[in-house]
Amino acid sequence: MTGRFISFEGIDGSGKSTQAKRLAAKLGAEAILTREPGGSRGAEDIRQLVLVGDPDRWSPETEILLFTAARRDHFEKTIAPALETGKTVICDRFADSTRVYQGATRGDLRDMVDSLHRLMIGREPDLTILIDMDPKVALARGLARETSEQRFEDMGLSFQEKLRAGFLSLAEEAPERWLVVDVDGDPDQVAQRVCAQL
Query: How far apart are the C-alpha atoms of 74 and 82, rounded to whole Å?
Result: 11
Find residue 35's DSSP bridge partners: 92
Average pLDDT along the chain: 89
Q: Tell me: the pLDDT tens digits for 118-160?
A: 999 999 999 999 999 888 887 776 655 655 545 555 666 888 8
* CATH number for the domain harbouring residue 176: 3.40.50.300
The edge-to-edge listing of strands for the beta sheet with 127-132 is 31-35, 88-92, 5-9, 127-132, 178-182
- Residue 11 contacts residue 167 (beta carbons within 8 Å): yes
Q: Report pLDDT digits (tens) over 151-194.
A: 555 666 888 888 999 999 999 999 999 999 988 778 898 898 88
Tell me the residue range of the domain where 170 lies: 5-197
Number of domains in the chain: 1
Identify the pLDDT of residue 154.
62
The fraction of the chain above a pLDDT of 70, given in percent, is: 91
